[in-house]
Structure 1
Amino acid sequence: MFLKTQIFKALAFKNPIRLPISYWMLVGLRFLLTLLPQRGYIHPDEFFQNIEVIAGDVFGVDIARTWEFNPKFPIRNIFVPKMILGPPLIFIRALNPYAKSYLKVDLATPYYLLVVPRIFICLLSLINDYCLYRTCVLYGQNFRNRLVIFASSYIVLVYCCRSFSNTFEMMFFSILLLLVAECMLRSDRVIYHNEYLQEKYRQAKTPVERVKIFKLTTHLPAHSLSRVIIISAVVIIGVFNRPTFIGFAFPPIFFWLHRGLGSKVIGFKDFHYRIFAFVLCSVPTALFLILVDSGYYGYITMADVESLKVSWDSWVVTPLNFLRYNIDSKNLMQHGVHPRWLHLAVNIPLLFNVLGGLAFLTLSTHAYRFIRGQYSKLPRIQSITGLMLFSLIIPIAVLSIFPHQEPRFIIPVLVPLIYLYGNHLHPNESNGINYRRLKNGLRWTWFVVNILLTIFFGFFHQGGIYPFAKSLHYEIKGNYGTHTHVILTHSYSIPTYLLQLESTTKIWKNRNTGHKYRLAPSTFIYKYGSIPMRELFMKIDEELSNAEALLHKHKKNYRLYLASPCSLHQKILSESYKYHHIDLVEDFSYYPHFCTEALPEFPSNHDQYCIKEISKNKSTAIDINIIDRISCYLRKFCLKVYRVKTSDYIK
């Protein structure tokens, strides 16, 4: 009985949470930055790949439904964004009437529509923290240092609070790593005790001793198929969320299948049983997600099910469509083709800075030892270090195969990276003075770089779009019926759901006459990208002419805006002088707004634009000192909004 008690004590994973104050301060900072809110706009996919579509479904408003959600060839699963983004948006919709009545607060405004879902995602991001903490506790590693390093990463402070599908992918990856780590530890302990009891059984001299040992063996908990149902569900949901999750899930599943393989009690029979059980348990989740997508995209209806009119064409498998789309190199070229070394040479340093360098040096050392045949100095293949090492290398290697590479694609590997090397930034008692100084220097470099990148991506990058959308929202609501045209150039597009435009696809019914009708659109957003100025003004001229025609024919008042980075101000003015019937009036300027599509040139000491800004004297030509030039240069990082109208002379 004593041995049995010890076995179950060893298998009980109970540890109290004792986290440092610095970690809780960083968690508080994560929520504070989200509440401010973060004005930065990392990539259009943070809106148009998830929340834009879900907001359209919840509020019944006009949205920009991207090609990825085209029912003819959908490549995005709807279940994951519905489950994550649906609750906060439904909360806003349900609470808004009461907030308006009792608090005089409208929740269907850009601030709340932006912040409430992000707060919910921030709460979910703590899953990553918990999984890292729990894995460290299970294997007796220092979780305090690692959690502080993890929580101070700008990936956690910025990316993990946005509605990227990559953010959700990181959560699933963290959960999967923790589940597999628990299964590995459990199997190691059960196998150790099983082998120990078998050895004692062989050494037993009497039948009574053998019977006692055999009974102890039967009391060992099952471990071979532990967590198979939840692991298979996480993998399938992760793949439907982003099919690239296959690359992230491969190492953990490989280690889960190989637990104990090569020991005296685990053989290839167990390995094949695990594969069979994993595949079998994956089928219900996969069928459920296929059914959800098929229903959402209109491939199957309840009437079809009731009448049994279901065929192969009634189903849609979004991950399969995703792979079919991305296999075609012509499709990838539309989104940008990158060199295959971009992740290794650019994205890893950008995302992980000093930790990426430490990983590169450590992995180079392991490669050298492997080439030299020093296998005893390498991490054990079936250890937690081996799991984290392969979970770091394999996803990056798989994603590097595809020529379209963005930094956010590899943010989930932050978890294994922090587990492996996060503690390397903190000195210990055995380190010498120089080594301590080096580690302290690396740690402070980590903090400083992540602070700068948090400010840049959280507030500077495309930072003028949100305040412009906020102003536009109130202007549209305050001028109901006025046609609003917004032309954007060299900037990301405005998330349409923030404007809360009345649906033009929904069928309305007149209560008095019973007549059914649809609302005509009154707000038009044009995204022209980085087109040349000549073509841009041809578009402006065309939209202005159409708006003027509606004004004179149907008395439809209009407002036409042009939004452009401030760095293009001179080019826009120069081109506008060619159109004598067009007047451009500077309406607003939103700071800061960093835009790689139109980086400003550093002004010379005779730059006329800077002279006008500084001296406010158009005729005076003076030399500008370096401080004024720098100040002028920084002022060009803004988003300028022009009011476009016909010239008073023409009128």
Structure 2
Amino acid sequence: MFIKTEILKAISFRNPVKLPFSYWVLVIIRFALTLLPQRGYIHPDEFFQNVEVLAGDILTIDIARTWEFNPKFPIRNIFVPKMILGPPLHFIRIANPYTRHYFDLDLKTPYYLLVIPRIFICLLSLINDYCLYKICVLYGQNFRNRLKIFASSYVVFVYCCRSFSNTFEMIFFSMLLYLVAECMLKSDKVIYHNEFLQEKYEKAATAVEKVKIFKLSTHLPQHSLNKVIVLATVVVIGIFNRPTFVGFAFPPIFFWLHRGLGSKVVGFKDFHYRIFTFIACGIPIALLLILVDSGYYGYVTMADIESLKISWDNWVVTPLNFLRYNSDMRNLTQHGLHPRWLHLAVNVPLLFNVLGVLAIVTLTVNTYRFIRGQYSKLPRIQSITGLMLFSLVIPIAVLSLFPHQEARFIIPVLIPLIYLYGNHLHANESDGPKARKFKTTLRYTWYTLNALLTLFFGFVHQGGIYPFSNSLYHEIKNNYGDHTHVITTHSYSIPTFLLQLESTTKVWKDKKTGHKYRLAPTTFIHKYGSLPIDELFVKVDDVLTNAEMLLHDYKKKYRFYIASPCSLEQDIRSVAANYPYIELIEDFTYYPHFCTEAFPNFPTKHDQFCVENKFIRTNESRAVDLNMLQRISCFFKKFCLRIYKVKPVTKYRI
């Protein structure tokens, strides 16, 4: 009876604990920053790979459907975005009539369209916190320090509250690590007691003792296929979300398959049985996701299913299309090629600063020890440390093989990184005065850098796009029916769904006559990336000429804007002078707005452009030499987004 009780205690994971107050403060800050809202714009993919497309489907509005969702060759799965972003967008669609009627609150405005999906994603990001907490509790590690370090990371404040597919990938990875960690611990305990009882059984002197021990062994729970259905489901969904998830899923699944291998009770038979069962459990969810994608992109219809006229051409497998697309070097060249050391040398320190550098140094030391054969000083392979170590190294190594590398691709490794090294920023009882001082310095450096990076990526980077979109939304709404032309240059694209443009693809029906019709577009967003200014004004000339012709022939009023970084002010004015019939009027300036596409030059001592454009204040009416403080002030004030209203000079009007 005693042995049975001990076994039950050993396999019990209940351990009620209290989370530190400072952690809850950081969680509140996470939600508060999301509600402000964060006007920073990290990358177009945070809108155009997910929420833009879903908003077009659910809210029936005009959106910019990017090439990844082209039905001819789709590479993006629609299931995960629908599951994560569908609920908040459906909430907006259903609740909006009631909030407008009872509270005079329109949810279909840029603020709520931006914030409500982000708040939902922010709630889901707590899954990462929970998984880290549970792993620490299971293995008796200090979860308080790790949770505070994790919750203070700017990756959590910024990336984890945005609709990146990498954000969803991080959630799946965290779940996978927790599930595998739990399975490993349970298997270790069950295998230990199984071997213990087996040894007692062999040493038992009487048949009665052997029967008692045998009965006790039957009370041991099954562990070999623990969580297999859930694990297979998470892995398959993660791969359909981003095929790069294979690199993240490999270490946890490898450790799950190898649990107890080499012990007296687990052999290669169990290993192969686990593999086949895992694959078999993953097939149904894979088929379901293929069916969802095939139906969404129009490859299979209910008529095809009813008539049973289904062939291989009726199915689309988006992960395979993703791999086919990215295997072509010409496609990767369009998105930018990077050196294969970029993740390790740049992206790891950029995302994880102090901890990233600490991890690189520690892994370098461990590599040296491995080469020297000092295996006793290395972490044990079949342990939670081994799992986290491989889950940190393997994904970065795999993603480094591809020549297109962006920092957000590796944000999921934050969980194993924090588990391994998060506690290194807090002093231990055995640390001396110098070690304590050093760790305190590291910890405050971590907090300071993450605060600065939160401000930069959350509010400064491309920070003028959202407020301009908000102003543009009200401009379009207040001048319904007028044509609006917007040219953006050297900045990210405006998320079209924020403008709530009426659908021009939906068929409308006149209630009186019953006639069906489609609306003609009235808002035109022209995206020219980093097109040279002289070529840009050729486009401006064309747009203005067409708008003037429509005004003259059909009395169609229009508004025409150019959105450009302030650093291009001099170039724009210089080129615009070549078009005497075009008048540029400075309409508004949004500050701050940082973009690398048009990084401003540091003003020289004799730079009079700063004075002429009021980047600095001076009482002098003549040319003046700028001092260093004025030059610095002028430089930082160039980090803004300037909106120009474009009109024809009156005497040239058609």
Normalising by the residue count of structure 1, what TM-score does the alignment of the two structures yield?
0.99
- Tell me the matched-pair count: 651
In structure 1, the partner of 2:304 is: 304
CA contact (8 A) 1:243 1:323 kept: yes
In structure 1, the partner of 2:221 is: 221
Instruction: Specify the code of the residue in structure 2 equivalent to 1:626.
Output: M
Mapped pair 1:76 → 2:84: no
Q: CA RMSD in A?
A: 0.9
Displacement of 1:615: 4.7
Structure 1 unaligned spans of 5+: none
In structure 1, the partner of 2:462 is: 462
> Deviation per CA, 1:210-259, whole angstroms, max 9, x where unpaired?
11111111111000000000000000000000000000000000000000
Q: Distance in 1 between matches of 2:134 and 2:214?
A: 34
Mapped pair 1:126 → 2:120: no
> After the TM superposition, which residues 491-530 of structure 1 pair with which residues of structure 2 at under 5 Å, given as runs?
491-530=491-530
In structure 2, the partner of 1:623 is: 625
- Secondary structure at 1:649 match in 2: helix
Q: Distance in 2 between matches of 1:372 and 1:636?
A: 54
CA contact (8 A) 1:79 1:289 kept: yes
- Secondary structure at 1:600 match in 2: coil
Normalising by the residue count of structure 2, what TM-score does the alignment of the two structures yield?
0.99
> Deviation per CA, 1:155-205, whole angstroms, max 9, x where unpaired?
000000000000000000000000000000000000000000000011101
CA 1:44–1:618 in 2, change beyond 3 Å: closer, same or farther? farther
Displacement of 1:311: 0.8
CA contact (8 A) 2:608 2:624 kept: no
Displacement of 1:17: 3.2
In structure 2, the partner of 1:313 is: 313
Displacement of 1:605: 2.1
In structure 1, the partner of 2:287 is: 287
In structure 2, the partner of 1:570 is: 570
Q: Distance in 2 between matches of 1:134 and 1:118?
A: 25
In structure 2, the partner of 1:244 is: 244
Instruction: Specify the code of the residue in structure 2 equivalent to 1:621.
Output: A
Displacement of 1:630: 1.4
Mapped pair 1:115 → 2:77: no
CA 1:616–1:367 in 2, change beyond 3 Å: closer, same or farther? closer
Query: Where has structure 1 moved over 2 Å in runs of 4 or more?
Result: 614-619
In structure 1, the partner of 2:644 is: 642
Displacement of 1:558: 0.6
> After the TM superposition, which residues 60-459 of structure 1 pair with which residues of structure 2 at under 5 Å, given as runs?
60-459=60-459
> Deviation per CA, 1:119-149, whole angstroms, max 9, x where unpaired?
0000000000000000000000000000000
Instruction: Specify the code of the residue in structure 2 equivalent to 1:648.
Output: T
CA contact (8 A) 1:611 1:624 kept: no
Q: Distance in 2 between matches of 1:380 and 1:345?
A: 27
Q: Distance in 1 between matches of 2:90 and 2:70?
A: 24
Displacement of 1:425: 0.3
Instruction: Specify the code of the residue in structure 2 equivalent to 1:274.
Output: R
- Secondary structure at 1:95 match in 2: helix
Q: Distance in 1 between matches of 2:216 and 2:291?
A: 46
Q: Distance in 1 between matches of 2:373 and 2:297?
A: 55
CA contact (8 A) 1:461 1:593 kept: yes
In structure 2, the partner of 1:21 is: 21
Instruction: Specify the code of the residue in structure 1 equivalent to 2:626.
Output: I
> Deviation per CA, 1:266-311, whole angstroms, max 9, x where unpaired?
0000000000100000011001100100000000011111111111
In structure 2, the partner of 1:483 is: 483
In structure 1, the partner of 2:47 is: 47
Q: Distance in 1 between matches of 2:361 and 2:462?
A: 35
Displacement of 1:554: 1.0
Instruction: Specify the code of the residue in structure 1 equivalent to 2:627.
Output: N
Higher mean displacement: 497-506 or 365-374: 365-374
Displacement of 1:649: 2.8
CA contact (8 A) 1:172 1:238 kept: yes
Instruction: Specify the code of the residue in structure 2 equivalent to 1:628.
Output: Q
In structure 1, the partner of 2:56 is: 56
CA contact (8 A) 1:611 1:617 kept: no
- Secondary structure at 1:43 match in 2: coil
CA contact (8 A) 1:611 1:618 kept: no
- Secondary structure at 1:487 match in 2: strand
Q: Distance in 2 between matches of 1:8 and 1:322?
A: 47
- Secondary structure at 2:259 match in 1: coil
Instruction: Specify the code of the residue in structure 1 equivalent to 2:567.
Output: S
% identical equivalent positions: 74
> Deviation per CA, 1:468-492, whole angstroms, max 9, x where unpaired?
0000000000000100000000000
In structure 2, the partner of 1:7 is: 7
Instruction: Specify the code of the residue in structure 1 equivalent to 2:354.
Output: V
Q: Distance in 2 between matches of 1:577 and 1:359?
A: 55
Q: Distance in 2 between matches of 1:179 and 1:532?
A: 52
Q: Distance in 2 between matches of 1:589 and 1:579?
A: 23
Structure 2 unaligned spans of 5+: none
Higher mean displacement: 132-141 or 619-628: 619-628
Higher mean displacement: 371-380 or 191-200: 371-380
Instruction: Specify the code of the residue in structure 2 equivalent to 1:234.
Output: V
